[in-house]
Amino acid sequence: MLELKDIHYNAGEKEILRGINLVIGEGEIHSIIGVNGTGKTTLAAIIMGLNGYSPDKGRIIFNGKNIIDLSITERAKLGITLAWQIPANFEGITVREYLSIKKNSADPKKALKLVGLNPDLYLDRVVDENLSGGERKRVELASVLSIKPKLVILDEPDSGIDMASIAAIKKMIRSFKKMGASVLLITHSEEMAKIGDSVALLCNGKIVKEGNVKEVTEFFKRYCKGCTHVGEIEEEILK
Amino acid sequence: MNFDYSKEFQAMIDAYKKAGGNEKVLIDNKFGSIVINENKVLGKNEINGFHVKHESIKEGVNVKIFIDEKVKIESPIHLCFGMLPKEGKQVINSEFFIGKDAKVEFLAHCTFPNAKHIEHIMNSRVSIGVNGNMSYIEEHYHSESGGTLVYPKLRGEIKEGGKLSEEFRLTRGRVGILNIDYEIEQDERSACDLLTKVYGKKDDRIEVRESLHLNGEYAAGTAKSRIVLIDNAFGNVLGEIEGNAAYTRGHVDCHEVVHGKGARAASTPKISVENPLARVTHEAAIGRINKKELETLMARGLTEEEAVDIIVRGLLK
């Protein structure tokens, strides 16, 4: 489904991503875990092709095709989409309109129900700051769902929200898998990462450990959460 | 009912529908209405408390609209103004007299669906009596040619305790050239809210002047505008409020969004107070379309143009 080959990205003099290699299979939930500042969001932006996030080196293969030169829209039309850590607000646009922006969008009512929001209460609300963080994230996932994606990139879906919303979001992520979509789940929470079928640990722009979910998340919990080496890879710890 | 059932009237109704109006209200005698094409009043329906006097002039119509004292008209009165030909000039000199304690809402649709070169001059005078209340929503629909020149001019006075709410929308079709010039004098405890929403494209030119004079104690007013400019469109907004009496409150709020290398925007808030107990404030912002909003919609499969359109329609709703 998705293969990243030796992705490098620099911001000025600073190396943000240093040779990322990653494979995500069809219908797989692949978690990327790492503390703040390790390059997780940059990786999401590069896969989606956001403005200013063209890799300095490497290839992104999606269903056998190198998509590195494709625009955001072209990638989205192939089935790739992204849900931002802090979703954008849209003045004057209702939830109903937001979930129906494409002609062949799924039924907005069904999409809302799947993320645990009552359509009668939410369809006519505006997608702006009057929604709470949890409500806005759920609406965002409903909008992702409505376009029937093949690969969903979720950037910190659990950050800044209440426990009820977290439970709904976990359920939703599993729904994507049931629908046959792959999920790249970016998080700094080992609990959220455990939803994944596999996990990769990102440290200082490099995947330093990947594979077994329990093993990688335990490692993250033990060594990375209180990390003091500020971006420098501790070879000794990794050994 | 006093209708001229001509093809012309039907064509105006069709244009009214295209402009977003509900055409049924123009042929239902429960609703007050006036239909004007070029210099002809094609139809009007007066209802209890709503009276119209009109005369044709060479290039337009003089029309006087009266709302009787203490009359509260429940349903909006529908005004359909426009020109069906491709070229020409239309001058509408309108006067609105809103009686003491009266309340009325006008929905005006101005439509120039075939315009290649149309000049539309709207000279309006509004007089709102003591505790009178008038709402006026004006929606324009122009052709895509850009050949429409629209000059809405409003001079108004609001007596003690009166209220005027005026909204101008031109968000579909090309603007062409638009020059809005509104100036309102307000007496004690009166209130006025002016709102302009315009979407400029290609080489459209938009000038907006909204001016409020808060002359009586406790008078309050807002001059608000939302302008979106793409391609090579240009917009210039002047929001003026004078606080000339004690306890007056005024606010100028201008928000312009530009998208595209050639689009340009300017905004000038001009506020002043003549009384130390008056308070007048302003806020103005000119900026680009939010990058995250744009990229979010593109990540759902919309092209940049489609995404811009959705964001703009939300802003101007």
Residue A75 inside a domain? The answer is no
Whole-structure pTM value: 0.79
Residue range B72-101, pLDDT digits in tens: 999 999 999 988 889 999 999 999 999 999
Chain A residues inside the 8 Å CB shell of B287: none
Mean pLDDT across B8-37? 85
Q: How many domains does chain A have?
A: 1
Do residues B100 and B130 lie in contact, with contact meaning Cβ atoms separated by under 8 Å? yes
Residue range A100-142, pLDDT digits in tens: 988 788 899 999 998 889 999 999 999 998 998 889 999 999 9
Confidence of residue A167 (pLDDT cuts 50, 70, 90): confident
Chain A residues inside the 8 Å CB shell of B301: 73, 76-77, 81, 102, 147
Searching chain B, which residue's CA lies closest to the CA of residue A94? B314
Residue range A207-228, pLDDT digits in tens: 989 988 999 998 888 888 777 6
Residue range B267-307, pLDDT digits in tens: 999 999 999 999 999 999 999 899 999 999 999 999 999 99
Confidence of residue A200 (pLDDT cuts 50, 70, 90): very high
Chain A residues inside the 8 Å CB shell of B297: 101
Least confident of A79-93, A152-166, A185-199, B96-110: A152-166
Contacts of B222 (CB under 8 A, 6+ apart): B192, B193, B194, B195, B250, B251, B252, B253
pLDDT for residue B237 is more than 90: yes
At residue B10, the pLDDT reads 84
Within an 8 Å CB–CB cutoff, is residue A122 touching chain B?
Answer: no
Residue range B171-201, pLDDT digits in tens: 988 999 999 999 999 999 999 999 999 999 9
Q: Is residue A99 classed as helix, strand or coil in its secondary structure? A: coil
Confidence of residue B4 (pLDDT cuts 50, 70, 90): low
Mean pLDDT across B6-23? 80
Searching chain B, which residue's CA lies closest to the CA of residue A48? B299
pLDDT for residue A97 is more than 80: yes
User: Exposed, middle or buried by CB within 10 Å (0-12, 13-18, 19+), for B51?
Assistant: middle
Mean pLDDT across A143-170? 87
Within an 8 Å CB–CB cutoff, is residue A102 touching chain B?
Answer: yes
Smallest Cα–Cα separation from B173: which of B205, B207, B135, B199?
B199
Verify whether the Cβ–Cβ distance A72 to B314 is below 8 Å. no
At residue A158, the pLDDT reads 86
Residue A168 inside a domain? The answer is yes
CA distances from A30 to A46, A70, B307, B316 (A): 17, 23, 30, 41
Across A188-192, B30-34, B96-100, which has the greatest mean pLDDT?
Answer: B96-100
At residue B317, the pLDDT reads 81
- CA–CA dist B37, B81 (Å, integer): 6
Residue A140 domain boundaries = 26-53+81-238
Smallest Cα–Cα separation from A170: which of A189, A146, A143?
A189
Mean pLDDT across B152-171? 97
Residue A63 inside a domain? The answer is no
Chain A residues inside the 8 Å CB shell of B300: 76, 81, 101-102, 143-144, 147
Chain B residues inside the 8 Å CB shell of A92: 313-317
Domain locations in chain B as residue ranges: 2-316
Chain B contact probe: residue of A54, A86, A91 with most B CBs at under 10 A:
A91
Residue A14 inside a domain? The answer is no
- CA–CA dist B162, B215 (Å, integer): 13
User: Which CATH number goes with the domain that contains A214?
Assistant: 3.40.50.300
At residue B1, the pLDDT reads 47
Chain B contact probe: residue of A77, A86, A93, A127 with most B CBs at under 10 A:
A93
At residue A211, the pLDDT reads 86
Mean pLDDT across B143-153? 92
DSSP state of A96: H
Which among A48, A91, A101 has the least Cβ separation from residue B297?
A: A101
Verify whether the Cβ–Cβ distance A77 to B301 is below 8 Å. yes
Q: Is residue A197 classed as helix, strand or coil in its secondary structure? A: coil
Verify whether the Cβ–Cβ distance B293 to A89 is below 8 Å. yes
